[in-house]
Structure 1
Amino acid sequence: MSPGGGSPPVLPIPVRETLDGFRSHLDLDLHVWVLGEDGTRVAQIYPVLENGAPDGIRGPLPDSLLRSLSPKNGPVMQLEIGTSDGLAVESVASFVQAEVERVLDLMQEVDFFTRELSERYEEIDLLYSISETLGSILILEEATEEILKEVCDVLGAERGSLWVYDRNRDLLRLTASVGPGSDDPLDSRTPDLVTLRVFEEGRSQIGGRGDLGDSRSGGATTDISVPISYSRRSVESMIVGVIDLFRRLRADPFTTSDKKLLSAIASQVGAALENNRLIQESLAQERMSREMELAQHLQMKLLTSPEAFERAYVAARVDSAELVGGDFFHLFNLPAGKIGVMIGDVSSHGFPAALIMALCLSAASIYAMESPDPAEVLRKLDDALSGELETTEMSVSLCYVVIDPVAGRVQYSNAGHPHAWVFRSNGDSMRLGATDPPMGFAGPDSYAGEGLSWQNGDTLVLFTDGLSDTLATPEPGSGEATVLDAVERELEADPAHIVDVLFEMAAGATPYNPVDDRTALVLRT
C-alpha cells in the first residue's frame, strides 16, 4: 500500500533496468521500498514478484546499507544495498544511489517534456532513449557511440564527435565518432579550435567553422558544438567534454532550440561520464585494497612462526604502519644446535619497503645456512641487495645474532640497527652495538663481528625504531628507555607476555613522531 492508501507506485522501466544492471554487473542485492510519512516501510516496489505484485514488508538485512531516494515528485523511497558476501561498499552505494536518483529525476523530466512539448515527440523520445542507454549500458564507450548516432539522426547531422577530457593526460580524447569517414574521425584525433574554445569557455556555439575555412562545415550555421558538463549540488559546474555535430542535412540551419536540446543531452552524458569515473576509481581502490590485504597475508606468511620454533622460548610481532611494511624478523635452526635470530628495518614503509623486505628474507634464508659467521652472512646479503637498494634509494638496518647455547656464546653482526639488547637473568643488560652502517651505505670492506657470553635464562630483546618512536617524548632517547624499562619490569615473565605488554603500551600511546612499522622479538633459552 502507498502512503496515501492507494496502490504503491511502479518504478519506470529505465530505473528497473538500471537496478538490474547494477545487480548483474556489480553482484549487488538491491531493494527499493516506499516509506510512509513516519519513515516506516509500507511497500517494496523493487524487485517485484512474477505476477507484478510487490514483495512482503521486512526489516533491513544485516550489513546492508540504506540510502534515501527523494524524487522531485512522489513519495520518499528507501534503497537497500547489500552484496553476496554481505559487505556493502560505501562508495559503490553512494554511486548507485546517485544513479538511481538521476534516472528517477530524468524520467520525471521526460514526463514533463512529454506533457508540455508533445509536438516535439521525436526529440523527447531521444532524451528517453539516451536515459535508457545510459542506465542499461555500464560500459560508457558503448553508450556514447549509441547516443551520438541517435543525436545525429534526430538533429539531422551528417557527422558527429564526442570528446572527453582525460585528467591524467590533460587533453581532450576522442571517445566516439559517427558519420562518413568515421574510421578516420573528422580527419583528426586532435580537437579543432572551436571545440577547444567551447571546452575552455564552457559555452555552446552554433557555426564558426565555416568562417575558419573548415571543410567539415557546410556554412556558418551548419555545425554546432556544446560543452558536456557535470553539476554537483552547491559546486560549480565542471566541463568534462564536448559534443560536435557537422553538416546539417536539412535545409534549415541549427537553431537555439537545437542547442538547448543538445545541451540537455550533454548534461546527461556529463553526469554519466563523471559518475562512471567515480565508480571506476572506487572499484580500482577496492581492488587495490584487496590486493594489499592479500600482500599483507603473504608477507606475514614469509615470517617464521615463533610458536613453531622449538630451540628457544620466543615471541615476536610485526605491526605495519600500512597494510604491508618493511619490518621483519627471522629465526634459523642452525647446525650444531645453534640459533640464528635476525631483525631488519627497511627505510620507508608500504609496498616498496615490503618488496625489499621479501628479498632480504629470501636471501637470508640461503646465506644463514651457508655460514655460521654473522658478519659473512651480512656481507653476502649486502652483495645480493646492493643493486635494489641503490635503485630504490633505500637502506636496511639489520642485526643478525647467532646463539650457541651449548658453548654459552653469542656472535653477532649489526648493520646500523639501534635496538638490540641482551638482558641477563640478574637484570643486567648490554647493547649489541652497531658494527657497521646500514645496508645501502656500507662499503665493500664492511661487516665485522662481535661476541659475548650467553647463559640459559638470558633474554635477547630486539625491536625497531617504530616501536620506540611510538613511545617517545621530545626528550632524546626516551622511547628506547621506555621500552627497556618495560622489559626490565616484566623480565621474569615469558617472552610472549613481554611482547604483549610492549604492544599494549604502543596502542595506548599518542605518538610524538610519525607512525612507522613496529616490530619486537624476545627470545630466551
Structure 2
Amino acid sequence: MAATTPVTNEDRLRRIAQITDTTLAHLDVPDLLDELLDRVRALLDADTAAVLLLDPSSTYLVATAARGVEEEVRQGVRIPVGRGFAGRIAAERRPVIIDEVDHSNVLNPILREKDVRSLLGVPLVAEGGVMGVLHVGTLTPRRFTMDDADLLQTAADRIALVTRTRLSDLDRAAASALQRSLMPGALPRVTGIEFAARYIPGDAGGLGGDWYDVFSLPSGRLGVVIGDVVGRGLQAAVIMGRLRSALRAFALEEDDPAEVLERLDGNVQHFEENVMATVLYAIFEPSLERVSLSSAGHLPPIIAQPGERSALLNLPIDLPVGVSVGPPRRTTTIDLPDHGLLFLYTDGLVERRGSPLDTGLDALCEVVRAEDAEAVCGGVLHRMIGATPVNDDVAMLVAHRLGTPSVVPLSIVVPAVTRTLSDVRSSVRRWLAAAGASPEDAADILVATGEACSNVVEHAYGPAGGTLVVQMELEGATVVGTVRDNGRWRPARGQERGRGTALIRQCSDDMDVTAGPGGTTVTFRRHLTGSSR
C-alpha cells in the first residue's frame, strides 16, 4: 500500500460529512455505493471496502458493492447471518475487528485469495433494524482501533440512511409498476351489469398489497375479488401478485367461493412464510340474479337496493388466509335484484386512527347508493376521503346490476365428462328463467341441450377427454342453442343408441348438425311461445 500523509481527526470528520453530499444525488444505487466505498477507503486508509445487504428473507447477506474485492459482487457472494466475519457483525449488531485473517474467522474465500490481512466491519443500521454490513480491509497487517471502528460506524450510519432512502424509492417505483400491471386495465364489459373500481395509495409511503379483480369463468359465471395483503412495499405487491394468480387458478377448478379460499389458504400456508391476507371472493350466476360470497377475514360488502337504506351484508367472516387451521369456511348466497349494487372495499377506506371502525362503516353505508357505479366511486371518495390524508391504501370495487332490455348471452366451457352435465343444466335453467321462458318451453330446451351434451360426452372423445361448449342466445323471442366439441365421434353402440338427435328435433323448431375433422356443432332453435318478455 502506498504511503499516506497522516490524517487529523478534523480532516476525518470533514470527509465523513462529504460521504453523502448532494453531488451523489444523480447516481443509481450501484454507482452510489461504489462512490461511497471509494470515499470510505480513503477515509480509513484501507485497500478494500464492501457492502453486503440483507436479502428479503433476512437470512443471508448478499454482496452488493465492493472496491478492491469486486469479485464478491460478480460471483454473488452470500454469507449466512451469524456465520463468518460479515454474518457475525449482522447477528451481533456491533463492530468486529480481525487482526489476522484465516480460515477460522472468515467464511468468504475471496478475502483470503486476495490476501486481505486485516478487517474491520460494522453493521448498517437504518430505522432501528440491520440492513447489511460495511467492512474495510488492508493487504498488510494492521491493528484497527476502536476509534477506527467509531469512525467507520459514523460513515456506515450515513451510508445506511442514504441507501435505505434510495432503495425505498426504487421499491415504491417497482411496487407501483407491479401493482399497475396486475390491476385490471379495463374491467370486463358484461351485458346486464356495470363495474367500477378505484385504487388510492396511502400517504404513509410505499404501496401495499390491496387488489381487486373481475374475471369470467368457463361456466358463464363471473368471479369478483377484493383482497389486502398485510404489509407494504414491493414485497407486499409481489405477494399480492402471487395470490391473485393462485386464486384465479383455483377459481377455474372450484365453483364454491369457500372452497376457492380454502385452497388459496392451503397454498399460502405451504408456500408463503409469515404471510397473511384478507380476501373476499364472490361468484355471480350467469343470470346475475344470485351471488355467492365467502370472506377470509375481509370486511363485509355493502348492499344497496333502490328505495332502501344501504347496509352491511350479513356475511359470516372466516379466518384470513395464512392463519393456522380454523373452522371450515362458509359460503353465503344472496339475491341481487334489478338495479341492486354490491360495494366491496378494503379497510383503508373506513379505518381512522382514534375513531371506532363502526363510525367509518356507518358513514360508508350513508353514502353508497344503488346508482351509476362510477358515480358511487366518486361520491364515496368525496365523502370518505376528501382532503383528509389516509395512512393505508384504499381499494374499492362496485358491481351494479342493471335492468337490461336483453338477456346476457350464455357461454359455458366445461370438461366433457358426466359430472359437469348437472352444472350445465343448472346454468341453462337459470338463463332460461331470465329469458322469460315458460315452464313448458324451458323443459323442452333443457331436454334438447341435455341430449346434445350427453352425445358429446359419450361419442366425441376417447380416454384423453376434451371440452364441451354450450352457448345460448336470445334472438327476439327465439332461443338459439349451440353445443360444440372438437373431437372425432365414435359410432353409436347398441340398439337404443343414436336417439338423442331425434329428441332434439322433437323439442325444437329446427336443428342443424355440422360435423367435420375439427369437431361437431349442434345448433337448435326454439320460439318461446309462452315468453313473458
TM-score (normalizing by structure 2): 0.47
TM-score (normalizing by structure 1): 0.48
Bigger Rg, which one: 1
Whose relative contact order is higher, 1 or 2, with alpha carbons under 8 Å and at least 6 apart?
Answer: 2
**Structure with more of its chain in helix, by fraction:** 1
